[in-house]
Structure 1
């Protein structure tokens, strides 16, 4: 299978460049871009697995999520520069829903089909539950409540203050898990067996992860330009494209990595990618975009629409209920996927 993905990547990347230069059919390029991103996701998954063996599941999952979210951050900055604030907010919502319901759901479901019961670090699950509650239920809901009667200037001031606090707390959380309390809450299942050898060295894994991310960033940016044509062909709305389609495609690489890790029963890495990526989006990427928007004529306050906000809150609550015990199975994955499907239908019809 790795050989197939290798050939797909080596053929897909040049075709993506050639097709964009010579303006091939948007529908054809949509297919080429999607297949190439899937192939590149294989490389990112293998690099993440090697890093997880060498540096541990936390570092491996964190690096995968960071490189994956870097793509979305870059695309969102260009969208803000173009004044597409609503599209950026919709894509952030889609990333939260996609990571918590689609990625975690697929990981639990696919892994559960192979293993009847899968475990991951329950201490990390509870730690993440607290941060998710803060990021979505506090930092995202508070602006919605307090800005009802505020002027646009006051909304932006509140958003900037919340963004700075969230970035500081996110960096503190990383320091807590990776420095002051590294290994304190480690479980026996996290100890890597001596015979397990990484496919690539730490340096090579990071290099491949970085190069694959750059390729995915380029192709994802090209892919966005095909959405209008594809949307017209299938009758998709802009809101549905922003929350569902852009979020799925923009994070396809890290999505695939999480599912691959779950299939190999490496649930600590899979959960770190899915939940860790959500926390990074909510507590770092979104606040950074608020601060960056200050440089552009169109500012972005941290205020979501009511459907977006309710969807994110429900996703967080459902994820916490199902994952707080550090144990999962295929049925819990199916439950998360069902919730994602219901929300997808809702946003499609909205």
Structure 2
């Protein structure tokens, strides 16, 4: 605990943890002050993301970058899952689908691209396990196919077509979750020798004992969940105040804020020349959202939502996911990276962001 307190007191970013109780109190006292709550929730999520990054790195030094990346992706995606579940309960299927597609694109282009850029500015050339990256991008291609399939159902807008789309979505969701589970079995059990990380002399020793790190991860995850509820309740009204469209909010704002914890860990790993951890977080998180979080939301919609949700995304979202997956596959196939690779990936993401801000797609 002494190391944890020392890190909090010595890191100015973690001083923003003071906003965590502030945003919770503000939610109770001023529940209608949406713009204020939105700003406070963002300020609270930033230090929580930094603390989550610090704890995850400590665990990863003991478990290895492959398991560490999976652990960070899982805990980071819990935030996105909570945000999506809150919106799902309110029947905001458009926001849920936009945030899911946006998280996939943000992880494969923004998080991975920024990691390559940040790491490349400090290290001339960085290496990572390309077999692991290839597996994750292959899983993303599988998820993209599943997203495209409901869109080609004839007469999907009719009553019969809608029922068929819903049944198809349930079947596809089960297949995606099964494929994700088998992918974990393949990479962590039967063929784990192919997925070991590259040795990095700068990795250093664990900053926290594993027990303290795991306790910190659990506590921070709970706090992130609480703050995320405030965020999702205020983001739509605050977005209108700032002149942002619903498509831009779901695809860009919610995706970036929901993935803040993972991004902090990925960027930190890249700076320390631990690119296996960064690539594992970015692509592992994207594939987990596509093959587990999105299908799970379809099943949860039957329990907590006012109406079932399907996997039929609007054509623009499917196109962006397909392009981002293709870009990630091409950029990671060599197993080596430099800063300009990150620039190329970030440019693609900025193109998408600018398009959504100026000319949002017609969401179904």
Q: 2:269 aligns with which of 261, 268, 272?
A: 261
Cα 1:114–1:148 shift into 2, 3 Å: farther
Task: After superposing the two structures, state which structure 1 stretch, 159-168 or 292-301, moved more.
Answer: 292-301
Partner of 1:176 in structure 2? 186
Partner of 2:19 in structure 1? 12
Structure 1 residue 70 corresponds to structure 2 residue 103: no
- RMSD (Å) for aligned C-alpha atoms: 1.9
Task: After superposing the two structures, state which structure 1 stretch, 77-86 or 316-325, moved more.
Answer: 77-86
Q: In 2, Cα distance between the equivalents of 1:112 and 1:195?
A: 16
Aligned length: 346
1:34 deviates by 1.7
Task: After superposing the two structures, state which structure 1 stretch, 36-45 or 192-201, moved more.
Answer: 192-201
Kept in 2, the 8 Å contact 1:77–1:289? The answer is yes
Q: In 1, Cα distance between the equivalents of 2:340 and 2:186?
A: 33
Q: 1:298 aligns with which of 307, 311, 330?
A: 307
Partner of 2:89 in structure 1? 81
Per-residue deviation, residues 82-110 of structure 1 (Å, max 9, x unmatched): 21111110110110111011111111111
Q: In 2, Cα distance between the equivalents of 1:232 and 1:6?
A: 30
Normalised TM-score (structure 2): 0.90
Q: In 1, Cα distance between the equivalents of 2:203 and 2:300?
A: 47
Per-residue deviation, residues 214-248 of structure 1 (Å, max 9, x unmatched): 11111122122332343233211111111111111
1:265 deviates by 0.9
Normalised TM-score (structure 1): 0.93
1:4 deviates by 1.4
Q: In 1, Cα distance between the equivalents of 2:256 and 2:154?
A: 30
1:56 deviates by 0.7
Kept in 2, the 8 Å contact 1:147–1:155? The answer is no
Q: 2:353 aligns with which of 319, 344, 347?
A: 344
Runs of at least 5 residues in structure 2 that lack an aligned partner in the other structure = 1-6
Q: 1:326 aligns with which of 315, 327, 335?
A: 335
Kept in 1, the 8 Å contact 2:131–2:194? The answer is no
Q: In 1, Cα distance between the equivalents of 2:214 and 2:188?
A: 18
1:148 deviates by 5.0
Task: After superposing the two structures, state which structure 1 stretch, 71-80 or 194-203, moved more.
Answer: 194-203
Q: In 2, Cα distance between the equivalents of 1:68 and 1:194?
A: 24
Q: In 1, Cα distance between the equivalents of 2:116 and 2:125?
A: 10
Runs of at least 5 residues in structure 1 that lack an aligned partner in the other structure = none
Q: In 1, Cα distance between the equivalents of 2:169 and 2:46?
A: 36
Partner of 1:54 in structure 2? 62
